[in-house]
């Protein structure tokens, strides 16, 4: 996997697969399939948005709506933090916000 600037990644049409929380180590990982510039049209790549030094997260997710919108993408957009701060994912009928000291994005090359 290669690192990518969070602001260079457009999550419109991405598919959310998992949210892995590790409260003991203040970490949270969001696993997605995303479209990456320069990649074959219509093909998604595996992506991990990694949060470290997490102080809080909030989510309201309708799992049935995520399933219903999975084919076309159940992530509508996101607003990544500039370094430390709050990142917000806008989902089909829901959202996830994460306040953390650091956010990194890794995508399959």
Note the pLDDT tens digit of each residue in 15-33: 999 999 999 999 999 999 9
CA 69 to chain centre: 16
Structural domain for 38, as ranges: 2-107
The per-residue pLDDT for range 38-58, each reduced to its tens digit, is 888 889 999 999 999 999 999
Alpha-carbon torsion 104, 1, 31, 76, what sign?
positive
**Does pLDDT of 65 surpass 80?**
yes
How many domains does one find in the chain?
Answer: 1
pTM confidence score = 0.95
For residues 17, 64, 89, 106, the Cα torsion angle rounded to the nearest 10 degrees is 10
Q: What pLDDT was estimated at residue 109?
A: 67
CB atoms within 10 A of CB 83: 10
């Amino acid at each position: 996997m290669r690192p990518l600037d969070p602001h260079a990644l457009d999550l419109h049409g991405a598919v959310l697969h998992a949210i892995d929380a590790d409260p003991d180590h203040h970490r949270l990982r969001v696993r997605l399939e995303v479209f990456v510039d320069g990649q074959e049209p219509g093909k998604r790549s595996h992506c991990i948005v990694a949060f470290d030094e997490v102080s809080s997260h909030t989510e309201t997710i309708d799992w049935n709506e995520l399933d219903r919108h999975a084919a076309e993408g159940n992530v509508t957009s996101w607003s990544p933090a500039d370094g430390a701060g709050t990142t917000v994912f806008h989902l089909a009928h829901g959202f996830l916000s994460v306040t953390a000291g650091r956010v990194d994005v890794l995508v399959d090359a």
